[in-house]
A and B are shown apart, each in its own frame.
Chain A
């Protein structure tokens, strides 16, 4: 069975490649499809990744020879001049040359040595045993803690919480919670002001000291740097309040539809290059409330294993059968589709009504970019539908910031449903769904989001449309392309520098989401605290958001970061990396990374 699926995918892959070569004459530059056998890195063992790294060294790409669409070309040159490798776009010979080695310079999932995992588990064991002991002491009354108590008359009700979850929250999470939920007192721009807080009882309660500190922000999803409290977007938002108020107090089906939202939806469709679009006031809700109207019982959803909670919830609410495929692995996706078509619906064995593949553009915890061409090839081959969640990638990828579809040079029409948020790159709030007119009309008529959810607030709409105008170049400047270029440059510079310092970094070179692996949850907490002491704000993530043994610190690069800021951050990170001994990768002191 596996042998067959490999060949079939390869044939799909070849077909795709030939079709893209054929389109050379058109304005789309051909994109190189990485070899499937090299792509499925999640399965790679550490030894494999090591060896390929050894053999590869650094792949240099010649300047793309092929003349292509201007935008794409400059992007490719940009890529080439910045680091000169990865995701090459060029003529067929250059791509095949690259293919022979590896299309990725970087392994997506390098891993720490096995003993690190053992030690991580050991540290958890120690913490859990001590937590049990602490719980026991508290129960016996040796310790008094200001823990919220059940209502005195409700002690005999069935307990609301308990078990391992409570143990984890009351002990491990509580001690580390100062690295989470840090309160801002300013706009989340490149520099943010945090309200200082301190705890006198090990995280049970926090006290605000009344002071604030200026912190370099590498935690907010402000990819394009539109988060600002002045400038054209802020002015547009303030003006919109005067003109259109703050709330509609109504749903879309019941009189809540405003002209400005209607216009916004037109912009979004134009921006993405789709026929039609819809906007909603909450990104999470866009997924969880709209997926159920696209698939129902008797359909199959193929969902990436690392999909966001909102997608998972939406899938669950739809009632369709759900199968999970390996992260970003088109091969596994194809295998599962084939098996599903052959086996049919569970129990009845009837053929599925339709199959929907759900993937994200950039995965927020791994920093991986979806292999869209492969996924599209599989989708086309089997007649499945594709739902693409561009929560992190819209604005953050592609020569003009149009997301992962543009990044790969794919056709937006090949993606059946394009979803994304307006919260991140556009620094507003909400989400959109775009696609063919017919699809959008159905969603407008039948989705929960349209029927039961209120419509968007005017200033939020204004922020999105004004920032989108800038990105589209409608404001008459080239600020939009400057922003995307700066983001791309910052991303590559920061990633490469981190890697050379010897850190283990996940994800693709062009992804502005950069997870730095610390493996130990204790180390990531220490990392979070020490960086804050040096006025650098990063996100520290541990279980349950990541696997138990894969805690990580995460950086989000913004177009508004300057080189000086990045250098400052790198200096701090390197210093703390030495202190916490988190440099799990290979140090490379020789390469000088150009900005």
Chain B
């Protein structure tokens, strides 16, 4: 012990005292500079009076700006009664080409009967989230039915269509992951992408070469940093049928790219579920793609199924993860039982009456061809796939305002002639990409060919009168 302490002691004593003073000063200077650097205020330190002054002077902007009273959202047309093939507005009936009741299931008596019975058994609301006594057996039944319908292992039921899509994506994709997304995706997907905080790579709408180009760039990056590449999850998010354009996604190519570049694929089938495919199973059925190869299919039940809510289906390994990480699933009250059984009954009807899909497709084709010839030689044009029940009528013009005016005039004039059409509405400025104004025209399976022809005639007349001016 002494052999250690004594030499140290002698060394300490032998060093001259000014040495300690100097070293002490040096330490003080370092501490001082360090403090200065850390605490250097961006602005000069304010006195309390100055702070009070700032606080007193601060003037907040008004909570919201004024909304012009002629904004279309403030002057909607209030529909009275059911949103069926015809809608009643202020006592007059209009042929409905505006809502997404593709299979004509709104107003189906069988569904309504089931829903009423459900009210007299389960009440209206479920009064709780799925975790806490909000799971009713009808939810489990519908989930099972949906999984069987789509040929998947498991389905997860949400209580709102928009939230389904916007919650499902960020349940998987997190910060540090990469999501490839089509530039034409709908707003719910855009919000899901935003909530995920992942790196978003946009490719041109339905442009597979552009997509592959992005994948190749990433593959090169991965070679440089294979360790990171191994844990970076990649997803692609596409729509089966694009709401904003009526286009079909090129699923077989997407699947090839999935396997080649190891990218998981999420398809939003909100529009194509119950529409595309000979039995309404969506794009996987249409293209003959094995549904179990798709990582997740998300869809809203608010279109063809004519209920409320949405679901995600796929392999249990993927889908069940949402039951604890899908925000809109965990933290929201579950779907009211009556809307759940309504969806169940709608699925049953879809299986029982596959001719509805055929009617829908033939109406769609008839409408598309008719529209093309009706507005040929004008500045109006139609966009949409022949399989789609949704078409966009647009106006060729560089001036957005002019196009909007023309389209609004078309909607208004058609309305006077008994046709309910609607502009496709977007929040300008919120959408990720600029939007071309359009009229979103929908067909349903209940329309007769006479009704299609009659509405085409009306549209043709209106378009002609608008072009003349």
Closest to B68 in A: A445
A481: CB under 8 A from chain B? no
Tally of contact residues, B, Cβ under 8 A:
119
A428: CB under 8 A from chain B? yes
A416: CB under 8 A from chain B? yes
Cα(A154)–Cα(B294), bound, Å: 11
Closest to A308 in B: B331
Taking CB atoms and an 8 Å cut-off, the chain A residues in 1-38 that contact chain B are 4
A349/B106 in contact, CB under 8 A: no
A288: CB under 8 A from chain B? yes
Taking CB atoms and an 8 Å cut-off, the chain B residues in 227-256 that contact chain A are 229-234
Q: Report B-chain residues with C-beta under 8 Å of the C-beta of A220.
A: 127-128, 132-134
| Shortest distance between the CB of A497 and any CB in chain B (Å) | 23
Cα(A355)–Cα(B333), bound, Å: 30
Closest to B90 in A: A259
B98/A246 in contact, CB under 8 A: no
Tally of contact residues, A, Cβ under 8 A:
120
Q: Report B-chain residues with C-beta under 8 Å of the C-beta of A250.
A: 83, 98-100, 422
Q: Report B-chain residues with C-beta under 8 Å of the C-beta of A246.
A: 106, 111-112, 115, 306-307, 338-339, 342
A247/B430 in contact, CB under 8 A: no
Q: For A169, A186, A442, which residue has the most chain B Cβ atoms within 10 angstroms?
A: A442
| Shortest distance between the CB of A224 and any CB in chain B (Å) | 10
A227/B324 in contact, CB under 8 A: no
Partner of A460, one of B82, B124, B134: B124
Binds B, one of A60-68, A378-386, A563-571: A378-386
| Shortest distance between the CB of A513 and any CB in chain B (Å) | 12
A184/B135 in contact, CB under 8 A: yes
Query: Binary interface profile of B, 86-108, with partner A (CB < 8 Å = 1, else 0)?
Result: 01000000001011110000110
A423/B133 in contact, CB under 8 A: no
A438/B342 in contact, CB under 8 A: no
Q: Report A-chain residues with C-beta under 8 Å of the C-beta of B106.
A: 245-249
| Shortest distance between the CB of B158 and any CB in chain A (Å) | 9
B83/A454 in contact, CB under 8 A: no
Binds B, one of A79-87, A98-106, A233-241, A406-414: A233-241
Binds A, one of B72-80, B356-364, B402-410: B72-80
B61/A354 in contact, CB under 8 A: yes
A537: CB under 8 A from chain B? yes
A383/B124 in contact, CB under 8 A: no
Q: Report B-chain residues with C-beta under 8 Å of the C-beta of A237.
A: 119, 124, 338
Q: Report B-chain residues with C-beta under 8 Å of the C-beta of A416.
A: 63
A125: CB under 8 A from chain B? no
Known A184-B133, A238-B119: A247·B127 in contact at CB below 8 Å: no
| Shortest distance between the CB of B426 and any CB in chain A (Å) | 7
A160/B306 in contact, CB under 8 A: no
Partner of B48, one of A4, A227, A228: A4
Cα(A242)–Cα(B187), bound, Å: 33
Cα(A355)–Cα(B426), bound, Å: 27
Closest to B118 in A: A229
Taking CB atoms and an 8 Å cut-off, the chain A residues in 151-186 that contact chain B are 151, 153-154, 156-161, 169, 173, 180-186
A402: CB under 8 A from chain B? no
B162: CB under 8 A from chain A? yes
A574: CB under 8 A from chain B? no
B394: CB under 8 A from chain A? no
A249/B67 in contact, CB under 8 A: no
Binds A, one of B27-35, B50-58, B280-288: B50-58
B133/A428 in contact, CB under 8 A: no
| Shortest distance between the CB of B320 and any CB in chain A (Å) | 6
Q: Report A-chain residues with C-beta under 8 Å of the C-beta of B293.
A: 151, 153
A418: CB under 8 A from chain B? no
A253/B72 in contact, CB under 8 A: yes
B311: CB under 8 A from chain A? no
A317/B63 in contact, CB under 8 A: no
A195/B137 in contact, CB under 8 A: yes
B332: CB under 8 A from chain A? yes
| Shortest distance between the CB of A385 and any CB in chain B (Å) | 5
A191: CB under 8 A from chain B? no
Cα(A384)–Cα(B59), bound, Å: 10
Cα(A383)–Cα(B56), bound, Å: 10
| Shortest distance between the CB of B325 and any CB in chain A (Å) | 8
A160/B172 in contact, CB under 8 A: yes
A452/B187 in contact, CB under 8 A: yes
Partner of B58, one of A154, A219, A310, A383: A383
B133/A219 in contact, CB under 8 A: yes
A517: CB under 8 A from chain B? no
Cα(A452)–Cα(B46), bound, Å: 47
A188/B71 in contact, CB under 8 A: no
Partner of A451, one of B63, B82, B120, B427: B427
Q: Report B-chain residues with C-beta under 8 Å of the C-beta of A317.
A: 191, 194-195
Q: Report A-chain residues with C-beta under 8 Å of the C-beta of B55.
A: 338, 341-342, 382
Known A244-B81, A285-B328: A249·B123 in contact at CB below 8 Å: no
A479: CB under 8 A from chain B? no
Q: Report B-chain residues with C-beta under 8 Å of the C-beta of A429.
A: 124-126, 159, 308, 333, 335-336
Query: Binary interface profile of B, 326-364, with partner A (CB < 8 Å = 1, else 0)?
Result: 011011110110110010000000000000000000000
B127/A424 in contact, CB under 8 A: yes
Taking CB atoms and an 8 Å cut-off, the chain B residues in 117-155 that contact chain A are 119-128, 130-137, 139-140, 153
B161: CB under 8 A from chain A? yes
A148: CB under 8 A from chain B? yes
Q: Report B-chain residues with C-beta under 8 Å of the C-beta of A233.
A: 124
| Shortest distance between the CB of A412 and any CB in chain B (Å) | 15
B127/A221 in contact, CB under 8 A: yes
B365: CB under 8 A from chain A? no
Cα(A168)–Cα(B163), bound, Å: 26
Partner of B231, one of A159, A255, A426: A159
A238/B77 in contact, CB under 8 A: no
Cα(A229)–Cα(B336), bound, Å: 13
B128/A188 in contact, CB under 8 A: yes
Q: Report A-chain residues with C-beta under 8 Å of the C-beta of B338.
A: 237, 241, 246, 459
Cα(A292)–Cα(B161), bound, Å: 19
Q: Report A-chain residues with C-beta under 8 Å of the C-beta of B80.
A: 258-259
Q: Report A-chain residues with C-beta under 8 Å of the C-beta of B132.
A: 180, 219-220, 539
A238/B116 in contact, CB under 8 A: yes
Binds B, one of A276-284, A369-377, A503-511, A577-585: A276-284
Closest to B430 in A: A448
Known A245-B107, A246-B111, A382-B55: A451·B425 in contact at CB below 8 Å: yes
A444: CB under 8 A from chain B? yes
Known A451-B427, A453-B160, A539-B133: A442·B64 in contact at CB below 8 Å: yes
Closest to B43 in A: A349
Cα(A254)–Cα(B96), bound, Å: 12
Partner of A445, one of B67, B422, B424: B67
B65: CB under 8 A from chain A? yes
B42: CB under 8 A from chain A? yes
Q: Report B-chain residues with C-beta under 8 Å of the C-beta of A443.
A: 64
Cα(A258)–Cα(B84), bound, Å: 12
Q: Report B-chain residues with C-beta under 8 Å of the C-beta of A460.
A: 124-125, 336, 339
B137/A258 in contact, CB under 8 A: no
Partner of A245, one of B48, B63, B83: B83
B124/A428 in contact, CB under 8 A: yes
Q: Report B-chain residues with C-beta under 8 Å of the C-beta of A249.
A: 83, 99-101, 106, 302-303, 306
Partner of B162, one of A183, A247, A289: A289
A257/B78 in contact, CB under 8 A: yes
Q: Report A-chain residues with C-beta under 8 Å of the C-beta of B194.
A: 317
Q: Which 8 residue pairs are nearest across A and B when measured between Cβ atoms?
A: A442-B64, A245-B82, A253-B425, A284-B332, A282-B160, A148-B316, A187-B123, A148-B317
Q: Which residues of B contact A (CB under 8 A)?
A: 42-43, 46, 48, 51, 54-55, 58-67, 71-74, 76-84, 87, 96, 98-101, 106-107, 111-112, 115-116, 119-128, 130-137, 139-140, 153, 159-163, 166, 172, 186-188, 191, 194-195, 229-234, 259, 262, 264, 292-293, 302-303, 306-308, 315-318, 320-321, 324, 327-328, 330-333, 335-336, 338-339, 342, 420, 422-427, 430, 440
